Chain A
Amino acid sequence: MVKIPPVLRQAVGGEREIDVPGDTVSEVLERLYELHPQVRAQLLTPQGELHRFVNVYVNDEDVRLAGWLETEVGEADTVMILPAMAGGAR
């Protein structure tokens, strides 16, 4: 299951969570891009790399510190896409 942050929800038709198959983070994200092509443009650079401002977690662990995009994803795991949020005062 992939958790979609508020800023990406419009690109996925308002969904908060989407069930997509895949054994690695990379497979899960690819499947997500197929379903919702707009997300690809938001998360990836023109060169196809994940933007540095996007954090991806499998459960509570940052994939940067695990196996990056090859981090394994089990059926019960949650993949969370997390860009920073700025809001506070206004």
Chain B
Amino acid sequence: MARSYQDLLAAARERVPETQVEELAEQLAGDEPPLVVDVREQHEWDEGHIPGSVHVPRGNLESRIAGEAQVGQEVVLACASGNRSLLAGQTLREMGFENVRSLAGGYNRWKQNGHPFDVPRTLAPAQRSRYARHISIPEVGEQGQLKLLDSKVLVIGAGGLGSPAAFYLAAAGVGTIGLVDDDVVDASNLQRQIIHTTDRLGELKGESARTSIEALNPDVQVDVHPVRIDRDNVLELIDGYDLIVDGADNFPTRYLLNDAALMTRKPLVHASILRFEGHASVFMPYEGPCYRCLFPEPPPPDLAPSCGEAGVLGVLCGVMGSIQATEAIKVALEIGDTLAGRLLIYDALAMTFTELKVRRDPDCPACGPNAVLEFRDYQAWCAGVGHSAAAAVGAGA
């Protein structure tokens, strides 16, 4: 026997109790509000919905409801006028949800009766398509993507680490990327600094990186800071950014950034590279260890060769810069477990990842309870003034 739409609705109405908008409004204001599941289509949801409700389109109801509601939970289903929610209620009953009701009159009556509603910020259609693979990830989703678009990340150095880090952050749709670098693109950079190109040799690295980023993703605002970061400009430079990606090439800058990140309580995403080896960690000010908890003092210059002196495998930069971009995104979205409290060591020759525990140092001269945090002369300090010079051989050229 064929059953009409009206037959299906009537059958649903027998199994799924209805609730009125006034009753729901009272319940939502009470101590134990039910979960409101909005089963309308995306464009209807985007035009407005009941505050606090979750969106599970009816077409995905069976597959997605488990991610939003428990079987025993009190659920109120809402659609535009109260019919689709009845049919959705039938489905949930079949799936074992006993405590399901349907909102009579739906969202339209809710709005007509003067109850509050949210109009969400949404992605433009072009953005929905660009970030489709992010939106499909439950931990990111449309709201996460909007959060990334609102994020402001300062990348120190548009070189080996900064190139892949900034490039991936731009592709991911981090809305504002600041680039601090006073250097120009050199032929010897191109073996690893993939954001630059042969025809831009001699250009400021920040400007060259801006050209690549704008070609990749016009959503991203790029702020170029063609200066050498120092204690006089660091606070001004990091002001307005949510987090810092450290791709610097020297100890004075790394210790300076650590102190500035502590002063302003901004997360610092760290990586460093040499030859075939990379280090990475995340320093969350006063929540986890800082750079000086890990390395209280810089090594003398002869034990701290730069990549310029000792060399670096180009693709190593890609791995470590991508790890920094990954951690920056996780910090921005507040998802997953970051490298805070851990130092990740990647050995590309052995192809091994090793993890070391890093703990807060109770006597840390930068973030410990008795620390007096002020900028110092980092150049002199890192040049070994104050500690005995080691008769070191170093890595050589």
Contact = CB atoms under 8 A, between A and B. Distances in A.
A88 B161 contact: yes
Contact of B251 (A10, A41, A60, A84): A84
Given A16-B349, A62-B358, A55 B273 contact: no
Interface stretch (A18-26, A27-35, A44-52): A44-52
Contacts of A51: 297, 299, 387, 390
Interface in B246-305: 246-251, 254, 271-277, 279, 294-300, 303-305
Given A7-B304, A10-B393, A83-B303, A89 B160 contact: yes
Nearest to B301: A86
A85 B310 CA distance: 11
A87 B273 contact: yes
A90 B249 CA distance: 6
A86 B301 CA distance: 10
Interface residues of A, number: 34
Nearest to A7: B395
Contacts of A62: 356-359
B257 to A, nearest CB: 11
Contacts of A82: 345, 356
A38 B395 CA distance: 12
B395 A10 contact: yes
A74 interface: no
B303 A7 contact: yes
Interface of B: 156-162, 181, 183, 189, 246-251, 254, 271-277, 279, 294-300, 303-308, 310, 312, 345, 349-350, 354-359, 361, 387-388, 390-396
Interface of A: 5-7, 9-11, 16, 38, 41-43, 45-46, 51-55, 57, 60-62, 64-65, 80, 82-90
